[in-house]
Amino acid sequence: MVVSEDRFEKQLVSVLYSPKHLGYETRPVPVPGPGQVLIRVSAVGVCGSDVHYYNHGRIGDFVVEKPLVLGHEVSGVIAAVGDGVAAERIGSLVTLEPQVTNHWGEQSRQGRYNLDPEVEFFATPPFDGALCEYVLLPSQLAFDVPPVLSAEEAALIEPLAVAVASVRHARVGLGERVAVAGAGPIGLLAAQVARLAGAVDVVVSDPLQSARDRALRFGATSVLDPVGARESFRDSSFDVFIDASGVEAAIVAGVRALKPAGRAMLVGMGADTVSLPLGLLQVRELEVRGVFRYANAWPAAIDLAATGAVSLSELITARYGLDQVEEALQAAQRPGEVKVVVIPKGHCGQWAAEG
């Protein structure tokens, strides 16, 4: 193992024990094995899934049954490398693709490694995430960040990768019309990526006026209030619908807005079941597809951010320290907040001295 000059033995870790019960632990810093890198965490974006685990202790079949470290939108600096990894990587700012998969599994061999049933995804029970000071990851999942991107922007490559995967699955083409439900981070990024893919009309729906105003700055050609008396996706002339809300009423309205052979991408996670108009799906030959995370999206997402084609820094509305994780999770639930970021400030050497 090759390490930087920093001394590190212990680290501070934010731990979720049960719904709305967070605490802190001092844990050993892991040692990178062959092919791995140790990353000193620079920034962690708070995702809706982190908030859901905090509030409810579960998402569908994923249940917090033992202490869990949240956080999967991550950037950091490589502090040590294991055997087989070039020492020159130490000191590099990287963005992390937070999923370790079985390369030889059926889904991985077909390019769908995000669907690998053995995937170890950050902050998904039973696997810990990155609301701590140091994390381990295979070297190939730590992508170098161009100098034009900050550590905070690098952390938000993860939600941008979701948008890239969604638009790719939707096969958005030149001149097409796209409807997006939900103007949170994923909806805003999907709107931007859809425009880049060739959509000439991107209509974003959200009940919050502030969210609709923001969507107009993030690629939307127009916006609407889904609960307005006279507003909805009414004209049934959209080629693509992307749901980033998880709300059943929004999903049904979006599906009804599709013209024949339209494509609906379900990205937001809400109720386990929703009622869809099957007759409409049949007579219009509509395609409805779930979107689960991403695969092979990181290089494109980095390039989109680095060239300025997509704006990430403007998504950030609040920042907290590692000792303020509960405040960050609560802030992420406030109307008007878009992306809350946690920035660890301590170093392992400090905690080793104090421990």
pLDDT tens by residue, the chain, 355 residues: 666 655 568 999 999 999 999 999 999 999 999 999 999 999 999 999 999 999 999 988 899 999 999 999 999 999 999 999 999 999 999 999 999 999 898 999 998 999 999 999 999 999 999 999 999 999 999 999 999 999 999 999 999 999 999 999 999 999 999 999 999 999 999 999 999 999 999 999 999 999 999 999 988 999 999 886 445 666 779 999 999 999 999 999 999 999 999 999 999 988 788 999 999 999 999 999 999 999 999 999 999 999 999 999 999 999 999 999 999 999 999 988 999 999 997 433 333 333 3
Q: Is 105 exposed, middle or buried (0-12, 13-18, 19+ CB in 10 A)?
A: middle
Q: Is 44 exposed, middle or buried (0-12, 13-18, 19+ CB in 10 A)?
A: buried
Give pLDDT, residue 231: 53
d(CA 194, CA 196): 5
Give pLDDT, residue 351: 33
Joined together, the tokens standing for residue 169 give 């699955």
Give pLDDT, residue 61: 86
Instruction: For 305-338, give one letter per residue: b (16+ CB within 10 A) or e.
Output: bbeeebbbeebbebebebeebbebbbbbeeeebb
Joined together, the tokens standing for residue 355 give 């421990």
Give pLDDT, residue 174: 97
Who contacts 346 (Cβ-Cβ below 8 Å, separation ≥6)?
Answer: 11, 12, 133, 322
Query: Which of 134, 135, 108 lies closest to 119, judged by CA?
Result: 108
Q: Taking a C-beta distance cutoff of 8 angstroms, is the pair 262, 233 a contact?
A: no
Q: Taking a C-beta distance cutoff of 8 angstroms, is the pair 97, 143 a contact?
A: yes
Give pLDDT, residue 228: 65
Who contacts 283 (Cβ-Cβ below 8 Å, separation ≥6)?
Answer: none
Joined together, the tokens standing for residue 4 give 């930087």
Q: Is 76 exposed, middle or buried (0-12, 13-18, 19+ CB in 10 A)?
A: buried
User: Which segments of the chain does DSSP mark as H helices, in order?
Assistant: 48-56, 106-109, 151-155, 157-170, 185-197, 209-217, 248-256, 278-283, 298-306, 325-331, 348-354
Q: Is 282 exposed, middle or buried (0-12, 13-18, 19+ CB in 10 A)?
A: exposed
| Secondary structure of residue 89 in the 3-state scheme | helix
Helix (H) or strand (E) holding 242: strand 238-243
Q: For 173, what's the count of Cα atoms within 13 Å in the CB-facing half-sphere? A: 4
User: Which segments of 3-145 does DSSP mark as H helices, in order?
Assistant: 48-56, 106-109
d(CA 21, CA 19): 5
Q: Which long-range contacts (CB under 8 A, 24 or more apart) does 56-62 make?
A: 56/19, 57/16, 57/18, 57/19, 58/125, 59/269, 60/269, 60/272, 62/124, 62/125
Domains of the chain, start order: 2-156+312-349 (3.90.180.10), 165-290 (3.40.50.720)
Q: Taking a C-beta distance cutoff of 8 angstroms, is the pair 113, 101 a contact?
A: yes
Handedness of CA 54, 48, 304, 100 (dihedral sign): positive
Joined together, the tokens standing for residue 182 give 């939900």
